[in-house]
Structure 1
Amino acid sequence: MAKNYDVIVIGAGPGGMTAALYASRANLSVLMLDRGIYGGQMNNTAEVENYPGFKSILGPDLAKEMYESSTQFDAEYAYGNVERITVTADNTKIIKTDSNEYTTKALIIATGSQYKKLGVPGEEEYSGRGVSYCAVCDGAFFRNREVVVVGGGDSAIEEGSYLTQLVEKVDVVHRRDKLRAQKILQDRAFANSKIDFVWDTIVTEIEGDGQKVTGVMTHNKKTGKDKVLPIGGVFIYVGVEPMTEPFRELGITDEEGWIETNEKMETAVPGIFAIGDVRKKELRQITTAVGDGSIAGQGVFSYIESLKD
């Protein structure tokens, strides 16, 4: 038989854990579902400097603190890869995972986003063998070697700066002539002698010897010249896309897959809320996810109370 809860939160990142805290504190039965360990992308973040209450804290440590807080009022946590969501005639939500089935009155989607891929030759072939999307996870494999970071936003510059603690040199390849990252991150990167910038340039191919990455082919958009950068690894940060595949048939996403909500975090389907990086929004940060989570956590209580009228 399907296990039943008042509220199910899909995703145990900062937003999901905050929503679980608020909902369980309101004496609702709550289940957090995630296909991996709690914390989401915080586990891949070396240092968090912009979360109030901490001058600086390691991402995994902040995840642990949040998890302990989110489960103090008996919210449960379970592994599960969500495959399908069904809404019945009486507005019960049925969640089918790869191993179980659950029912709930209210659903909070907090599945977040994932890094986009370049889509160039060699990227898939050398994934995990020199191609990475997580400097914290894989940086130590490239100790004292030269690497490329692709991108010009916050993630690219933050992770590039982190890599300089481990590698010999970082080439930041960016398709424009200026960065999009926050000024404080730019200033640190420009002042770092281990970081060089390759402007107006795209990566067209990732080369290797069949076993590991040996270089990247680049194309300068202004000069039209191609050049191979001989490096041992490439870290890719060219944007994000929502992790919303199981929810597309619910009619709550835009054409790009982002979930649209109102200011109460409510979607177009009554009793389904969405929070954090999965939403169509401007700023995707731990703090904004936590804010969304608190609103949705209180919102599900109000929604469930309305069912009693």
Structure 2
Amino acid sequence: MSDAVHVKLLIVGSGPAGYTAAVYAARAMLNPMLIQGMQPGGQLTITTEVENWPGEVEIQGPELMAKMEAHARAMGADIVTDMVTKLDLGRRPFVAECDSGRVVTADAVILATGAQARWLGLPSEEKFKGFGVSACATCDGFFYRDRQVVVIGGGNTAVEEALFLTRFASKVTLVHRRDSLRAEKILQARLLKHPKVEVIWNHELTEVTGVEAPKGVSGVVLRSTLDGSTRMLAADGVFVAIGHAPASELVKDQLELHNGGYVKVEPGSTRTSIPGVFAAGDLTDHVYRQAVTSAGMGCMAALDAEHYLAALGEVEPAPQAVVAAI
């Protein structure tokens, strides 16, 4: 362990939660290190227009994340491009081992690893991943100019993906297993009035069909959730947009989880089941899952970490009036 780098505060993961935590922790003179992970900037880096970030009527997701990263760097946070592959929370200082071979020990840790796309788990879905099956319209939509695509899902993710795909595809069919959407009303209104969009209600995807030479998608098999009947639908691409799963693999056997893998935090705080370990953003939030709430939790996590370290006598406690004014 003599080659390990030691920091007061390690932030694992980027995105709104991680970068906001880095800004606040740096301003508190904690000299935080933030390890970005496999997708620096998180889910917003694969989002186009963001219309619900305060102060920005409309901004591109990658641009917003670039600004947040630059802000964290300007405050003095050490931003590292690497990925934590193992995290030992069973002793203090906590130990993080990275893909590059880097080892970091830390007195406190903020987890902001976010969430990852969910898949249906169909063998045919797996077979055609990267060959017509995708979970990222902003990544792959360009390849479907003047072609027909299918989007699976009924929440914000699915509707946003479908609307984005109308820029390229000749037709977008959204398939939802229920008879109403869960997405925000304003998104539903845009979707349902779009001339390129058709919605197939009360159906689910059971198979992706395709060809081998060259490998690609040719259609889908849909099953009615009402009577079990099936139908074929021609398609050149399939976009699975059924939400995300919390990226809690690093800590699943160490921290208390709930609601299908989300890290459990104390109500009104970001404290986890291990003192000195805090969690923020989509890793903990199975209700709101918004960029702005993730950023708010990042702020909370940094302040919680500062108070924790101050109680141990490792940092000077911030004046209460200053904390309240931030």
Does TM, scored on the shorter chain, surpass 0.5? Answer: yes
Report how far residue 49 of structure 1 moved. Answer: 0.2
Aligned to 2:260: 256
* Partners of 1:8 and 1:224 in 2: CA distance: 51
TM-score by length of 1: 0.97
Aligned to 1:308: 313
Output one character per residue of 1:134-173: Cα deviation in whole Å (capped at 9) or x when no partner.
1111000011000000000001001101110111000000
* Partners of 1:114 and 1:182 in 2: CA distance: 21
Aligned to 1:291: 296
Report how far residue 114 of structure 1 moved. Answer: 1.0
Report how far residue 12 of structure 1 moved. Answer: 0.8
Report how far residue 34 of structure 1 moved. Answer: 2.1
* Partners of 2:129 and 2:274 in 1: CA distance: 38
TM-score by length of 2: 0.92
Name the amino acid aligned to 2:27: R
After TM superposition, list the pairs within 5 Å mapping 1:120-269 onto structure 2: 120-210=122-212, 211-254=215-258, 256-262=260-266, 263-269=268-274
Aligned to 1:117: 119
* Partners of 1:226 and 1:46 in 2: CA distance: 34
Please say if 1:94 is aligned against 2:95: yes
Secondary structure of the structure 1 residue equivalent to 2:67: helix
* Partners of 2:244 and 2:40 in 1: CA distance: 20
Aligned to 1:84: 86
- 32, 35, 45: which one aligns with 2:34: 32
Structure 1 54/214 Cα, relative in aligned 2: closer, same or farther at 3 Å? same
After TM superposition, list the pairs within 5 Å mapping 1:8-19 onto structure 2: 8-19=10-21
Aligned to 2:282: 277
* Partners of 2:293 and 2:45 in 1: CA distance: 17
Report how far residue 83 of structure 1 moved. Answer: 2.2
RMSD (Å) for aligned C-alpha atoms? 1.3
Output one character per residue of 1:57-97: Cα deviation in whole Å (capped at 9) or x when no partner.
000110111111111122111122222222355x3111112
Secondary structure of the structure 1 residue equivalent to 2:124: coil
Name the amino acid aligned to 1:304: L
Give the unaligned 5+ runs of structure 1.
Answer: none
Name the amino acid aligned to 1:97: C
Name the amino acid aligned to 1:288: T
Comparing 237-246 and 104-113, the one that deviates more: 237-246
Name the amino acid aligned to 1:240: H
Report how far residue 37 of structure 1 moved. Answer: 4.7
* Partners of 2:85 and 2:66 in 1: CA distance: 27
Output one character per residue of 1:81-133: Cα deviation in whole Å (capped at 9) or x when no partner.
222222355x3111112221100011000000111101113111111110010
Report how far residue 256 of structure 1 moved. Answer: 1.9
Contact 1:48 1:59 in 2 (8 A): yes
* Partners of 1:264 and 1:243 in 2: CA distance: 20
Name the amino acid aligned to 1:11: G
Give the unaligned 5+ runs of structure 2.
Answer: 315-326
Name the amino acid aligned to 1:139: G
Secondary structure of the structure 2 residue equivalent to 1:72: helix
Report how far residue 300 of structure 1 moved. Answer: 1.0
* Partners of 2:206 and 2:255 in 1: CA distance: 36
Q: Percent identity?
A: 37
* Partners of 1:255 and 1:112 in 2: CA distance: 15
Secondary structure of the structure 1 residue equivalent to 2:18: helix
Structure 1 159/255 Cα, relative in aligned 2: closer, same or farther at 3 Å? closer
Secondary structure of the structure 2 residue equivalent to 1:229: strand
